[in-house]
Structure 1
Amino acid sequence: EGVSSAHARWRPDGKFLAFLSARDEGKTQVWLLNRLGGDAERLTDTPQDVQDFAWSPDSSQLVLVLRDASSEELEAAKENKDEAVADRARAAESEAKDKRKAPKPWVIDRLQFKLDEVGYLDRRRTHLYVFDLAAKSLRQITSGDYDDSEPAWSPDGKWLAFSSNRSVPDPDATYDQNIWVVPASNSDKGAHPRQVTTNPGADGSPAWSPDGKWIAYVTQMDPHLFDYATKHLAVAPATGGEAKLITLALDRMVTVPRFSPDGKFIYFIADDDGTQNLCRVPVTGGEIARTVGGRLMVNDYSLAKTGDIVAQIATLDHADELYTIPDGKLTRITHTNDALMSQLKLSYGEYVHFKSKDGTIISGYLYKPVDYVPGKKYPTILRPHGGPVWAYYAEFDHLPQLLAANGYAVLFPNPRGSTGYGQDFAKAIWADWGNRDFQDDMAMVDYAIEQGIADPAKLAVGGWSYGGISTDFIIAQTNRFKAAISGAGGALFSSFYGHDHYQRDYEAELGHPWENKAVWERVSPFYKVANVSTPTLFMGGAIDWNVPILGSEQMYQALKRLGRSTELVVYPGEYHEFKKPSHIKDRLERYLAWYAHFVKGDSTPARPVPTPKSGE
């Protein structure tokens, strides 16, 4: 089809697979595919994109997550129902392109008024709808000036749990997302939802117990710390009432909670020490068992009514496959990536530990060059990760493999600020970016040099998102790197306030820029730009509202004015996460060209040489 498909979900009877796709040049809809093969059938036909969906237990209904349709979407949908009108409209558009009406202006009155991949936010909100497959009818079951998401059917199909921030007076000002429940058959658009949780932090990922009496969910107890706070597993009565924290002592990020078929245990994925393991804990609390442990990455899992488990797992040397656990033994049942992996010569990432400047033990993944020879020193690339509250994991990653295949040692540190090491470790960089995490990143470079792997005269750095921000911090504090690539970075954060989509986070962590000027300036490496001598390539997406291209433009402008070696590459039509394969390929080629020229000292230019077209 030439169009990506995603979010595959088995119909409960196991005979059909539903998924999301924007086929036929239309909106993203739910499609249905027979497991025996054949063409997919479109189930839904909404004016706007379907963002998420879930099957009802009896397979007769779907709950859809839809953002309120715009007037343009409603008008287009009305026209498309009449082919003659649609044909005339297309003909008129073709004949009078230069006479098109100017787009309507955006009228903004919300505190949170931007979101990457959406753009400006108006009062159109995201709500739940129930779609009846037999009648092809759609019924709205939540409403209001709130965004609703993460729907989950009760076992009897009578209720839907969901997460929503409905705090007053303004949900945009808080992290107070809670779990709510509405009747799946309600006819008043969910005017009176039942509130299940009351924690002032974010609660999400609701999952029902088999008897429908309890809801397990993920909770963050300290809204002041927002993403830095550990996400714990909790359980609450489905009717509302006192909640119980189940994994408080674990102090690790928890995701994807699901009850065992007998209702006695709750499974979840734990982010721990550079891995993601599948764990299980009694509903009443107690000892946590690792159903799937070890240095690997559990990305998802499914529980059968029999209690059997299928897990989607990646390892450092193999991309995702499906595994079962018969008699407690992890057994791979798919070989989707075997043909590809058999053609590749890989560098197996080593999980290493080293001391930072203040003695703190830091961990990370080290990839040696393909065909590494002990005793030989290699050009080395430090790659700070994004987030900052995220981590590098024991999973197959194309980037370190590409760089290792081109003769580089690659360093993937998990500095303070990373997940998987406890809340204190994560919050150690709170309002203090580019300090402890800088020291930790440098400690991994020093470790690689001490081990005789990295050539201290041929060091490079580069990252994306907070990895790009870290790169800006690094080149402003040291000149030890021969080249840098800052992707989707930022360096003057007061200029991002009201320009990106992080106003709530900025205020929680840094305060208002007009009141806490010293804090905002301390975390802005732009003010140290005169110290930068490292040849630096800046890049980003033209419509990225997560970390806008403005940050790269400012750093590029300053370095260009200072006469430094620098370049700026802006990708049209790209958000924070790139979508177009040609742009993704171009970005990788620019990585290799920049590093080869400035780090290896190759005679090749610092930008990729265009491939001649056929016949030239």
Structure 2
Amino acid sequence: MPHPPGDTPVFHELFAAHPRLTDLALAPDGRRLIVSVQRSDDQGTGYVSTLWDVDPAGGREPRLVTGADENVFAPAFAADGTLLFLSALKKADSAGSDSDPQGVALWTLPERGEAERIAHHPGGISAFTVAGGTDTVAYTAGLLPGATDAETHAGLRRERRTAGVNAVLYGASATRAGDTALGPDEPHTFVLRSDHAPVDAGSQGLEGGGDAALSPDGSLVAYTRAEAGRAADTNVVVVADATTGAERHTLSRPGHQYYRLAFSADGGTLVCQRQREETYDTEWRVTLVAFDLASGEETDLLPEFDNWPWPGRAVLSPRPGDGTLWFTGDERGHCPVFRRDADGAVTRLTASGAYSSLCVTPDGAALYALRGTIDSPPRVVRLDATGADQLPTFLDAPGALGPLPGTLTEVHTDADDGFPLRAWLTLPEGASAQRPAPLIVVPHGGPQGSWNNWSWLWNPWPFAARGYAVLLPDPALSTGYGQRMQERGRGQYGGQPYRDLITLTDAALARDDLDPTRTGLAGRSYGGYLANRAATRTDRFKAIVSHAGPWNLEALLNDTDLHAYFLKIFGDPRTRRERYEADSPHLDAAKMTTPMLIVQGGKDYRVPVSQAQGLHNDLRRYGVPVRYLYFPDESHGIGVPNHIRVLYETVLNFLDHHVLDQEWKRPALL
């Protein structure tokens, strides 16, 4: 099939350079709405972030926030309406002699005035939160072992730098998390008032992540802490005095972790997300819980809610005494907004789209959010705070996208166990019974996840611009289909999820506008695992792309940052050999015949490079056509704009060669 003239280069440039909306913040009086916008830099080697002022009423065009240069992000408002943000903006220090880079600092910007740095820390600040009713701010920054404050921390950093030492001495804690090597700094929560020096409210543990909250009056600070000696699946919620740092409460539950903390408007309740990770015998479960700070009692706020929504951070009513809260959660290919009333009743406010970054107005009557879909990047919207299944009002903001090169529909079928399955399907322009389109199947990562939102990586529309249809399936272990969807896939990574994937592929190919003789499969992370599993079980696909996909599960267990997680799912390989033998693709390497493209980041700690190396070696050993796209400085995803360009060009050229029988074209920069 010929390429639509001019479409492919346009889409490659679009996905690398198009503005991306990331964070939303509403002023306490509801008059200002700030959105953070990322754009590619001029060289295409990174992103710069700016802040835009959006009219909450929708009456005027958005305007760039002046007084804050590029690379400002994480906007929030102080109680008096002053804008706060994080940035690595330069500011001369009076001492001038310490060459230690300060990194990201906390800044304020009044509506009319200049930006002022109010908090900085050697090595930088990673996150912050504000109190709803006072000038109190809490931020997360690191301290080296032996440091008691920022000054001694700076001295120790200076000593290490002078000695040329970057070694880390670990104990029983994890050494890596996501794409980050942990240590030697340990995250601490610092509380800052305008008339006091920062108070160290306590350590979050080496694996802490900057999750903190302040009570509206600024008297209490809450944060999560990972403690040495505790199981990796358990953390502690600490509630401390914001003035002295003295701990008031410590809250935990064996086998559970807590995230995304928020105080009620009266400061008497702490609401957070509680997560129980999947094991071989139990399903992953996430809910919202409330801690009564007077009694210490923990209450599940969603005990009967079977959406399995993976609820996001709860947004609580700003009115004291009002127990209403809002949250988002996956639901059958969408991520709606839900309202929970004080009596426990839950109402779905939106029927379509995927929402994030919720903000509630001071009177609790309206919500602002970012809304994305499979066919639209996130946009700023306004919602009524009470109406069920409403359509949003779109506000004028950067990030809108023009027409796409195709259409979006759904595929429905039943699994081999009778469970109803669904998937999104994008169709290129011109697909018909007379001109059926080739199909690329793209399973999502996770495995707990869902295709319900716009993605800048493995987005279907560059494929549609090239003439491909793309199936985005939600197999077993996907979120938003009730707890039964988790039960179906528990303990069988390559079992029911793989069978669901094939069932949905068959259902899609029953359409007369798709060509069953020209199909490919491409996945990242857990989707890459399913791609590897398919390579050892079927020859129905003409090409397979595996991006950061697990290959040898026993080797992965010892090398990944999620060692404890995978150990719970598969068990000790010395005593649970049958689980690895059932699900590890590398044991069936001799069955592979389909040409494969491997994509891998050299700094991927989740699925380390050894997995890609092992797959590459096995494909070469068995004479299977293979290409290996390696990004030495990327991690589990691909983040550099120019690398995203290279990724799409390489993948599409590989598919064109094997699925469409076209001549192989090596990307110019490779």
TM tier relative to shorter chain: 0.7 to 0.9
2:214 aligned to which of 153, 156, 162:
153
Runs of 4+ in 1 over 6 A off after TM superposition: 70-76
Higher-helix-fraction structure: 1
Cα distance 1:202–1:240, how it changes in 2: closer, same or farther (>3 A)?
farther
Q: Aligned in 2, Cα 1:226/1:6: closer, same or farther, shift over 3 Å?
A: farther
| The 10-residue stretch of structure 1 (205-214 or 193-202) with the greater mean CA deviation from structure 2 | 193-202
Indicate whether 1:205 and 2:260 are aligned.
yes
Partner of 2:171: 109
The DSSP-based 3-state class of the residue aligned with 1:218 is strand
Deviation of the 1:444 alpha carbon: 1.7
Question: Where do residues 153-552 of structure 1 align in structure 2 (5 Å cutoff)?
Answer: 153-166=214-227, 170-171=229-230, 173-186=231-244, 189-190=245-246, 192-198=247-253, 200-220=255-275, 224=279, 228-251=283-306, 252=308, 253-262=310-319, 263-285=322-344, 287-291=345-349, 293-307=350-364, 308-326=366-384, 328=387, 330-338=392-400, 341-342=401-402, 344-395=403-454, 399-552=459-612
Q: In the superposition, relative to structure 1, how do residues 6 and 449 fare at CA in structure 2: closer, same or farther (>3 Å)?
A: farther
The 1:39–1:385 alpha-carbon spacing in structure 2 relative to 1, beyond 3 Å, is farther
- Cα distance in structure 2, aligned partners of 1:602 and 1:101: 56
Seen in structure 2, the aligned counterparts of structure 1 residues 241 and 193 have a Cα distance that, compared at 3 Å, is closer
Match of 1:92 in 2: none
Secondary structure of the structure 2 residue equivalent to 1:248 = coil
Aligned residues: 580
SS in 2 for 1:468: helix
Kindly provide the CA deviation profile for residues 265-300 of structure 1, in whole angstroms up to 9, marking residues without a partner as x: 121112211111111112232x21122x11211112
- Distance in 2, Cα, partners of 1:227 & 1:257: 25
Preserved contact between residue 427 and residue 464 of structure 2 (Cα < 8 Å): yes
Partner of 1:29: 105
Q: Deviations over 1:107-142 (max 9, x none)?
A: 3332522223322x456422211133455x322111
Distance 2:238 2:271 in 1: 12
Distance 1:311 1:325 in 2: 8
Residue 418 of structure 1 contacts residue 425 of structure 1 at CA under 8 Å; is this kept in 2?
yes
- The CA deviation string for residues 389-435 of structure 1, in whole angstroms up to 9 with x for no partner, is 11110546672011111100001000001111122312422221111
Are residues 35 and 481 of structure 1, via their aligned partners in 2, closer, same or farther at CA, if it must alter by over 3 Å? farther
Q: CA deviation at 1:220?
A: 3.0
Secondary structure at 1:555's aligned position in 2? helix
Cα offset for 1:516? 1.4
Call closer, same or farther: CA 1:297–1:77 in 2, change over 3 Å. Answer: same
Specify the code of the residue in structure 1 equivalent to 2:397.
H
- TM-score scaled by length of structure 2: 0.80
How do 1:67-78 residues align onto structure 2 when only pairs under 5 Å count?
67-69=142-144, 77=154
Aligned equivalent of 2:127: 52
Deviation at 1:240? 4.1
What is the CA deviation profile of residues 150-197 of structure 1, one whole-angstrom value per residue up to 9, with x for unaligned ones? 21111211001222344xx613x23222432101001xx44x341245
Q: Which secondary structure state, in structure 1, belongs to the residue aligned with residue 126 of structure 2?
A: strand
Q: CA deviation at 1:523?
A: 1.5
Structure number with greater CO (CA < 8 Å, separation at least 6) is 2
What is the match of residue 93 of structure 1? none
Cα distance in structure 1, aligned partners of 2:660 and 2:315: 50
Contact 2:654 2:664 in 1 (8 A): no
Aligned mates of 2:76, 2:241 — CA distance in 1: 23
Gaps of 5+ in 1: 90-99, 612-616
Aligned-residue offset at 1:476: 0.7
Instruction: Return the alpha-carbon distance in structure 2 between the equivalents of residues 503 and 77 of structure 1.
Output: 33
Post-superposition offset of 1:104: 4.5
Aligned residue in 2 for 1:8 = 74
Aligned-pair CA distance for 1:323: 1.6
Residue identity opposite 2:563 in structure 1 = Q
Deviation of the 1:241 alpha carbon: 2.7
1:597 Cα shift?
0.9
1:572 aligns with 2:632: yes
How much has 1:16 moved relative to structure 2? 3.4
Aligned to 1:126: 187
Q: Give secondary structure in 1 for the equivalent of 2:211.
A: strand
Partner SS, residue 141 of structure 1:
strand
Mark the CA change 1:221 to 1:241 in structure 2 (over 3 Å): closer, same or farther.
Answer: farther
Q: Which moved more, 1:591-600 or 1:222-231?
A: 222-231
Structure 2 residue matching 1:324: 3-state secondary structure: strand
Q: Which amino acid aligns with 1:107?
A: L
Equivalents in 2 of 1:363, 1:555: separation in Å? 30
User: C-alpha separation between the residues in 1 aligned to 2:167 and 2:373?
Assistant: 48
- Checking the alignment, whether the CA contact within 8 Å between 2:168 and 2:184 is kept in structure 1 is no
For residues 284 and 195 of structure 1, do their structure 2 counterparts lie closer, same or farther at Cα, with a shift above 3 Å needed? farther
In 1, the alpha carbon distance for the partners of 2:646 and 2:151 equals: 37
Between the aligned partners of 1:546 and 1:269, the Cα distance in structure 2 is 26
SS at match of 1:584: helix
SS of residue paired to 1:236 = strand
CA distance change for structure 1 residues 584 and 499 in 2, over 3 Å: closer, same or farther? same
**Given residue 333 of structure 1, which amino acid in structure 2 is its aligned partner?**
L
Which whole-Å deviations, capped at 9, do the CAs of 1:315-372 have from their partners, x for residues lacking one?
Answer: 333221222235846311223223xx23x43433223311223332211110011333
Aligned to 2:3: none
For residues 435 and 159 of structure 1, do their structure 2 counterparts lie closer, same or farther at Cα, with a shift above 3 Å needed? same
Query: Quick one: percent identity of the two aligned structures?
Result: 22
Q: Deviations over 1:426-483 (max 9, x none)?
A: 2422221111111111112111210123212111011111111111001110011111
* Distance change (3 Å), C-alpha of 1:115 and 1:198: closer
